[in-house]
Structure 1
Amino acid sequence: MRKPRDFESELKALADKAKTLKERRVRQLGELVAATGADALDADMLAGALLGVVATKDAGAKEAWRKAGAAFFQGKARKPAPRTEQKPEGTLPLEGGAASR
């Protein structure tokens, strides 16, 4: 006779895996923000820029952004945007941002 499947443990394992994947994605997005130099922007400006990108319907602009992103990942444009004020490593530029209110 076959042993019955333990659906609860399988569901828990799948939920744990999904949580791990989501945490990895969030961490990678944070690393991307830092690698591009966008961590120098305050949270409101960064959120506004991302919302603008998502809302745009201009296919030409989207293609240009895609090409610039591909070049960045291939190492052709690996220099982050110039920073106007340097922050010590590990600090977040939150003044004026949503998190500082």
Structure 2
Amino acid sequence: MRKPRNFDAELKALEDKARELKTRKVQQLGQLVIATGADALTAEELAGALIVLAETKDAGKREAWAKRGAAFFRSKSLRPAPAPDRNTVGAQLQPDSLQSASGTTGAA
């Protein structure tokens, strides 16, 4: 006779694995924000920029951003900036800091 499956233990293991994956994703996103220098932005600025990116339907802009992101990952600039350059109060930011790879600025 077969041993019955312990569904509660299997469900708990799956929940633990999902929680672990979510934690890893959050850590990786945080590392990406730091590596790109976006940690110098306020939370409101970063959230606004991400909303614009998520709402953009222009395939050309999205493709240009994807190419720029791929180039970033291929470069050695993934290392975090030195501590004095990051998280500075009153850092000078460009008002239209969202640029496509073609160099055009704008929101959507």
Superposition TM-score, scaled by structure 1 size = 0.76
Higher relative contact order (CA 8 A, sep 6+): 1
The residue that corresponds to 1:25 in the other structure is 25
Matched, 1:34 2:34: yes
Q: Secondary structure at the match of 1:2?
A: coil
- Identity over aligned pairs, percent: 59
Runs of 4+ off more than 4 Å: none
Runs of at least 5 residues in structure 2 that lack an aligned partner in the other structure: 90-108
Which amino acid in 1 is paired with 2:36?
A: T
List per-residue Cα deviations over 1:11-42 (Å, max 9, x = no partner).
00000000000000000000000000000000
The residue that corresponds to 2:68 in the other structure is 68
The residue that corresponds to 1:54 in the other structure is 54
Matched, 1:6 2:6: yes
Q: Secondary structure at the match of 1:39?
A: helix
- Cα pair distance change 1:59/1:73, threshold 3 Å: same
Question: In the aligned structure 2, how far is the partner of 1:24 from the partner of 1:79?
Answer: 18
Task: Please state how far the C-alpha of 1:57 moved relative to its aligned partner.
Answer: 1.3
Which amino acid in 2 is paired with 1:16?
A: D
- Cα pair distance change 1:42/1:4, threshold 3 Å: same
Aligned length in residues: 86
Question: In the aligned structure 2, how far is the partner of 1:46 from the partner of 1:64?
Answer: 20
Superposition TM-score, scaled by structure 2 size = 0.72
Which amino acid in 2 is paired with 1:39?
A: D
Runs of at least 5 residues in structure 1 that lack an aligned partner in the other structure: 94-101
- Cα pair distance change 1:5/1:55, threshold 3 Å: same
Which amino acid in 2 is paired with 1:48?
A: G
